[in-house]
């Protein structure tokens, strides 16, 4: 019964170009295992990228760190200070060796993201000799997060939205380019950057409206742990965007270019 219903639904989708595109998107999201991949990326964002952002407080004004990490959630930094969670340059002064270790361990996010792109576009996984690409992606993502906080501090809301969208287009075009060594056609990479930036901007706008209320509710029920839960949930939504965007682009415009993607080893 279920198989018959699914077959009928797919047959109806195939009668219209929009339906065929939707079917390709759904098949692609299923093939990439959207939820599992997104959960992995969200965990890597929390454990790999956030420490890099905090370590950057050695070089960047701490207020930018607070803006990046706390302001979208409507969290009062003084509350975290009382609970022992203070973001200061002294607390994050890991030293040269510590910073290097944070950077090396942080590349796990870039490696996980590279595996996502590799499965979507059928490109080879980067070898250790290309490890600099992982570091570059990690630094790009961490720097864009910090710049987002600075943008919201310095400009009006409209300017901030436009500026962060432009920045994210560049970042999320560069990241897949680095992680696939340019083996994917340029127009697919640019389209991925534009779609990723657009969806992330929508998530950011929605988050700044909804997150303070959600965070306050979670904090009232679970204390500081509730804030952490909210952050992880938000990162999961961000990770869904990072995984779904290239899948959607591949389904809509990438099929004609699939033959141009080289799959030889490095």
Distance CA 161, CA 205 (A): 8
Question: Contact 190/219 with Cβ under 8 angstroms?
Answer: no
Q: Which residues contact 181 (CB under 8 A, 6 or more apart)?
A: 123, 126, 130, 133, 266
- Per-residue pLDDT at 87: 47
Domain for residue 8, yes or no?
no
Domain for residue 130, yes or no?
yes
Domain for residue 10, yes or no?
no
What range does the domain containing 112 cover?
29-260
How many separate domains does the chain show?
Answer: 1
Question: Contact 240/38 with Cβ under 8 angstroms?
Answer: yes
Angle at 66 between CA 62 and CA 67, to 5 degrees: 115
Domain for residue 9, yes or no?
no
- Segments in the chain below pLDDT 70: 1-16, 56-70, 74-101, 254-266
Domain for residue 3, yes or no?
no
70 phi, psi to nearest 5 deg: -115, -40
Domain for residue 34, yes or no?
yes
Helix (H, G, I), strand (E, B) or coil at 4: helix
DSSP-assigned letters across all residues of 144-190? HHHHHHHHHHHS-HHHHHHHHHHHHHHHHHHHHHHHTTT-S-HHHHH
Domain for residue 14, yes or no?
no
Angle at 28 between CA 41 and CA 136, to 5 degrees: 35
pTM beyond 0.85: the answer is no
- Per-residue pLDDT at 57: 62
**What are the helix (H) ranges across the chain?**
2-13, 17-32, 34-44, 50-55, 62-69, 77-82, 95-121, 131-154, 157-179, 186-222, 224-249
Distance CA 48, CA 235 (A): 12
């Amino acid at each position: 019964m279920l198989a018959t219903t699914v077959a009928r639904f797919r047959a109806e989708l195939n009668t219209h170009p929009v339906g065929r595109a939707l079917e390709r998107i759904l098949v692609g999201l299923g093939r990439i295992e959207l939820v599992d991949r997104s959960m992995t990326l969200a965990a890597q964002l929390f454990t790999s990228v956030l420490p890099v952002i905090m370590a950057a407080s050695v070089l960047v004004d701490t207020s930018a760190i607070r803006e990046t990490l706390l302001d979208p959630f409507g969290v009062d930094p003084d509350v975290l200070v009382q609970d022992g969670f203070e973001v200061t340059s002294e607390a994050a002064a890991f030293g040269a060796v510590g910073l290097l270790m944070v950077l090396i361990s942080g590349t796990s996010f870039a490696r996980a993201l590279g595996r996502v792109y590799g499965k979507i576009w059928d490109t080879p996984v980067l070898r250790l000799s290309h490890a600099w690409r992982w570091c570059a992606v990690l630094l790009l993502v961490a720097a864009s997060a910090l710049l987002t906080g600075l943008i919201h501090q310095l400009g009006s809301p409209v300017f901030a939205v436009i500026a962060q969208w432009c920045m994210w287009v560049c970042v999320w075009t560069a990241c897949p380019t680095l992680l696939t060594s340019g083996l994917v056609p340029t127009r697919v990479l640019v389209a991925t950057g534009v779609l990723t930036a657009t969806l992330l901007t929508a998530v950011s706008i929605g988050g700044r409206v909804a997150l303070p209320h959600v965070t306050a509710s979670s904090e009232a029920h679970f204390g500081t742990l509730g804030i952490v839960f909210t952050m992880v949930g938000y990162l999961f939504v961000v990770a869904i965007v990072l995984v779904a965007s290239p899948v959607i682009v591949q389904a809509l415009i990438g099929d004609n270019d699939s033959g141009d993607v080289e799959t030889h080893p490095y």
